[in-house]
Amino acid sequence: MAQPLSLAKQLQQHGDFLQITLSNPDGLAPLQFTLTDSTTVHIWDSGVICFEPTNAGDKDIVLSCGVHGNETAPIEICAELVQQVLTGKLVLKQRLLVLFGNPAAINAGTREITENLNRLFSGHHSMGAGLINAERHRAKALEDYVSRFYNEVRVTEAAPRNRYLYDLHTAIRGSRFEKFAVYPFLHDKPWQKAEFEFLQACDVTTVLLMQTPASTFSYYASNSHGADAFTIELGKVQPFGQNDMSRFSKARTALRQLVSEDKVSTQPFDEQQFQLYQVYRAINKQTQEFKLHFADDVQNFTAYPVGTLLATDGDTEYRVEREGEAIIFPNAKVAIGQRAMLMVVPTTVQHNLL
C-alpha cells in the first residue's frame, strides 16, 4: 500500500491550505518545509501560514481574512493567493503572513461564534471577563503571530523594514461606495500618501479616517507595530462560491503585485478622486428599545437632510445634525452599551499628509 503523502507534499501539490485549516479549525501542529523556489513555508497554526522568500525585499506583509467567518470573498482571495504560492505559480518577493482569522466561524458560515473577533484586539481579549471564549483566545493568538512575524527580522537603521497589515472584509449591507477602507487612528501622525495610492490600485477610493483608538485588528497593527494597516471592505457579504470574483480583480492584482514585486503600479495621489470621511459621532445602544428609523437595507454612506430622525432609544431621539452627515455600520441588534451606528462627515487630508 502506498504511504499517504505528507501534509507538506499535499500542500505543494494542491495548495489548498484553506481546506486543511477548515478540517482542523481548533489547531494545526507547526510545520516547516521549503518550496522549489527556496521560499520557506511555516505553518504556525490553523489558518496561520508564513512565507519567507530568500533575498526578500524590505516589506513585511500581513494579509488577513475571515476575522468575520461569513465574509467569503476575502477568504477566497487569500486562499487563491496562498495556493498560487504553494504550487509555485507565484514567486514571492516579500515576507508574507496570511491569516484566516476565525476558522470555526468560517465552518459555521457565521460572522462569529460567540463574540465579534474584531472588537477584541489591543488586549481587549483579556479585559472584562478575560479569556472566556474561543474568539478571545484567537484574538490573543493572532496578536502573538503578528508580533512574531514582525519581530523575527532584525530592523536596523541601515536596513529599515516596512510593515503592512491589510485586514480584508465584506460588509453586511450594501454601500453607496461599494468598496471602502477604514484608516485607523494614527495619533496625529500624518496619513500616508503611498497608502492612498495603494488603496486606489485596489479599486478602493472611499476612506474613513478614524480619530480614536479602536479594538480592531488594523488599529492593533498600526498602533502596536507601526504598520501601515487598514480594514478594507471589498463589497457585500455573499455565500461561498457566489462571489463575482471579477469585482475584485483590481484588488487581487494589486495584492499579488504587493507580495511578488518591489513596487505596486499606482497613480499619483489626487484627493479629488477619493471620498474621504471622518467620524462625527458614534451612537451607542443604551436601552432594549433602541430602534433605527430607516429601512433595513439602507446602504452605508447614505446621507439624509438635516433634522431627519435616524433612531430612537427610549426617550432619546437621534436626528441628522450636519450637512452631509452619513450613516455607516448601522446595527440595532448589538448588545446594550455597544455601538449601534457611526455617523460620518466628509473631510480632507491635505493638512496632514506625508
Q: Is 187 annotated as a binding residue?
A: no
Q: Smallest distance from the beta carbon of 168 to Zn ion, in angstroms?
A: 9
- Judge whether 41 and 88 are in contact, CB under 8 Å: no
Q: Is 179 in the site for Zn ion (CB under 5 A)?
A: no
- Judge whether 116 and 246 are in contact, CB under 8 Å: no
Question: Which one, of 138, 112, 115, 145, lies nearest residue 128 by Cα?
Answer: 115
Q: Is 351 annotated as a binding residue?
A: no
Cβ distance to Zn ion smaller for residue 53 or 184: 184
What separation in angstroms does the CA of 59 have from each of 38, 41, 111, 244, 260?
18, 17, 31, 30, 11
User: Catalytic one among 80, 135, 233, 325?
Assistant: 233
Q: Smallest distance from the beta carbon of 139 to Zn ion, in angstroms?
A: 14
Q: Is 124 annotated as a binding residue?
A: no
Stretch that binds Zn ion, among 163-171, 204-212, 266-274, 308-316 (CB under 5 A): 163-171
Q: Smallest distance from the beta carbon of 331 to Zn ion, in angstroms?
A: 12
Cβ distance to Zn ion smaller for residue 53 or 235: 235
Look-up: residue for cell 495548495? 15
Cβ distance to Zn ion smaller for residue 68 or 136: 68
91 DSSP 8-state letter: -
What is the footprint of Zn ion within residues 55-94 (CB under 5 A)? 68, 71
Instruction: Report d(CA 273, CA 169) in Å as an integer.
Output: 22
Instruction: Report d(CA 80, CA 301) in Å as an integer.
Output: 31
What separation in angstroms does the CA of 42 have from each of 155, 181, 235, 328?
21, 29, 31, 38
Burial 39-78 (b: 16+ CB within 10 A, else e): bebbbbbbbbbbbbbeebbebbbbbbbbbbbbbbbbbbbb
Q: Is 169 in the site for Zn ion (CB under 5 A)?
A: yes
Stretch that binds Zn ion, among 33-41, 162-170, 264-272, 276-284 (CB under 5 A): 162-170
Please return the burial class of 158, using the count of CB atoms within 10 Å of its CB with bins 0-12, 13-18 and 19+: exposed
Q: Smallest distance from the beta carbon of 116 to Zn ion, in angstroms?
A: 9
Stretch that binds Zn ion, among 77-85, 165-173, 190-198, 323-331 (CB under 5 A): 165-173
Question: Which one, of 202, 160, 156, 167, lies nearest residue 59 by Cα?
Answer: 160
Cβ distance to Zn ion smaller for residue 171 or 311: 171
Please confirm, yes or no, whether 233 is among the known catalytic residues. Answer: yes
List Cβ neighbours of 29 (8 Å cut-off, separation of 6 or more): none
250 DSSP 8-state letter: H
DSSP code per residue over 125-138: GGSTT-S-SHHHHH
Cβ distance to Zn ion smaller for residue 148 or 173: 173
Q: Smallest distance from the beta carbon of 53 to Zn ion, in angstroms?
A: 29
Q: Smallest distance from the beta carbon of 71 to Zn ion, in angstroms?
A: 5
Query: How many residues at the interface with Zn ion, by CB under 5 A?
Result: 3
Q: Which residue is nearest to Zn ion (CB)?
A: 169
Cβ distance to Zn ion smaller for residue 71 or 135: 71
Cα end-to-end distance, the chain, whole Å:
63
Query: In the complex, which residues of this chain contact Zn ion (CB under 5 A)?
Result: 68, 71, 169
| Catalytic machinery residues | 233
Annotated binding-site positions for Zn(2+): 68, 71, 169
Annotated binding-site positions: 68, 71, 169
